[in-house]
């Protein structure tokens, strides 16, 4: 039995957009002690044409937050926002774009109604082959002035909801799902120029008998010893088998162990290393009991404590999750995620403040 426990200090709505849908956030605490949460906001629904990359900020450890700032509002759906601060102090966001609202329009009518989907008609008609070629893909974007202005987007091979991480050697590493030579893969990309460009340096192998069709939305963390631990959303058709997979690298992301099962049921992962060198993984549980969960490793990812995860927040339905965490100056932790805050509402950006005792 673990000799630690979780104390939840509070849960609150960080951003609510009445009548609109928010999804798939990340959070960073900058060297100036500012919290920035990034998400896809101002949406009709989980799938729609209108998603925007938006940011909110807090200078009081998450007690109050600014109004949303829009960074990306492209001609197709901007989804899943990762955010980090690089070793040079640059803010870097990662996201991907989608035209699922075109390809799935007929079946989405059953979920959202004719009026909602009919409201997309002009946007659907605008999605030409030329527009797809220009805008569909996986992206990062940099700001060297704290988010006041942003460079032009840069394409990446892979994508993952929480984006890249900064390594101790100054590189940025992005573990995502992409394609190598036309074949789906969990890729490791590095940037040696502060996110101006990316190069694939490795691929995570999967176990014999498992399928890349079931591997999605990875994230990675660097341990105190310099080992990389990546965790992957594993989603076979059998929901009872959806335990996340994990792989490790001892050479900076060039080679990896075969992805292997963990005891953690849920999706997708976000990993951080605390100031005491423990690892924390946060993830959502989308079957009853719904909620946001965490697990802890005190041995660099060799083992995970907390059974199938310790709940830090419960949810009313399976439309929730993508939690991401950051450690505050006092050693407590803020985890942000999306879910329905009140019955009858669409999803909001939520935050739970907690600590380990």
H/E element holding 271? strand 267-273
Average pLDDT (214-221) is 98
Q: How many residues does the chain have?
A: 357
Map tokens 């890349």 to a residue: 212
Q: What band does 2 get if pLDDT is binned at 50, 70 and 90?
A: confident
pLDDT in tens, 315-345: 999 999 999 999 999 999 999 999 999 999 9
| Cα separation, 96 vs 99, whole angstroms | 10
Interval 176-198: pLDDT, tens: 999 999 999 999 999 999 999 99
Q: How far apart are CA 317 and CA 117, in angstroms?
A: 23
Give the span between the Cα atoms of 245 and 233, in whole angstroms: 7
Q: pLDDT tens, 70-90? A: 999 999 999 999 999 999 999
Query: Quick one: pLDDT at residue 127?
Result: 98
CA dist 123 to 41, 48, 64, Å? Answer: 17, 10, 35
Domain spanning 17-156: CATH 2.120.10.10:
yes
Domain coordinates in residue numbering, the chain: 17-156
User: What local confidence, expressed as pLDDT, does residue 1 receive?
Assistant: 56
Tens of pLDDT, residues 103-153:
999 999 999 999 999 999 999 999 999 999 999 999 999 999 999 999 999
Beta sheet of 321-327, edge-to-edge order: 6-15, 347-356, 333-340, 321-327
- Alpha-helical (H) ranges within the chain are 100-103, 105-112, 114-118, 121-126, 129-135
pTM of the model: 0.97
pLDDT band at 266 (very low <50, low <70, confident <90, very high): very high
Average pLDDT, the chain: 97
> Residue range 42-50: average pLDDT?
98
Q: Which residue has the tokens 């849908």?
A: 21
- Res. 243: pLDDT tops 90: yes
Q: How many whole angstroms separate alpha carbon 194 and alpha carbon 169?
A: 12
Closest CA to 280 of 337, 213, 326: 326
């Amino acid at each position: 039995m673990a000799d630690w426990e979780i104390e939840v200090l509070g849960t609150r709505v960080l951003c609510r957009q009445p009548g609109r849908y928010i999804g798939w956030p990340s959070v960073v605490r900058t060297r100036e002690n500012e919290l920035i949460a990034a998400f896809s906001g101002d949406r009709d629904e989980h799938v729609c044409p209108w998603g925007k990359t938006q940011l909110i900020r807090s200078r009081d450890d998450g007690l109050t937050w600014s109004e949303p700032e829009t960074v990306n509002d492209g001609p197709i759906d901007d989804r899943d926002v990762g955010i980090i601060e690089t070793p040079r102090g640059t803010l870097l966001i990662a996201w991907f774009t989608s035209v699922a609202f075109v390809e799935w329009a007929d079946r989405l009518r059953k979920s959202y109604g004719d009026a909602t989907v009919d409201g997309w008609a002009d946007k659907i008609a605008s999605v030409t082959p030329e527009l797809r070629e220009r805008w569909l893909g996986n992206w990062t974007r940099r700001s060297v002035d704290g988010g006041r202005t942003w460079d032009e987007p840069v394409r990446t091979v892979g994508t993952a909801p929480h984006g890249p991480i900064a390594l101790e050697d100054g590189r940025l590493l992005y573990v995502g799902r992409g394609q190598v030579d036309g074949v789906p893969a969990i890729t490791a990309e590095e940037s040696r120029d502060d996110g101006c460009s990316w190069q694939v340096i490795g691929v995570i192998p999967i176990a014999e008998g498992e399928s890349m069709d079931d591997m999605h939305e990875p994230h990675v963390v660097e341990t105190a010893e310099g080992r990389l631990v990546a965790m992957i959303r594993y989603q076979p058709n059998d929901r009872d088998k959806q335990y996340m997979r994990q792989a490790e690298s001892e050479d900076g992301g060039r080679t990896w162990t075969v992805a292997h099962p963990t005891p953690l049921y849920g999706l997708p992962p976000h990993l951080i290393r605390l100031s005491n060198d423990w690892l924390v993984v946060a993830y959502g549980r989308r079957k009853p009991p719904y909620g946001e969960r965490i697990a802890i490793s005190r041995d660099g990812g060799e083992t995970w404590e907390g059974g199938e995860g310790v709940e830090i927040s419960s949810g009313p339905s399976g439309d929730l999750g993508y939690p991401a965490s950051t450690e505050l100056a006092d050693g407590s932790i803020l985890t942000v995620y999306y879910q329905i805050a009140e019955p009858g509402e669409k999803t909001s950006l939520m935050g739970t403040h907690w600590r380990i005792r």
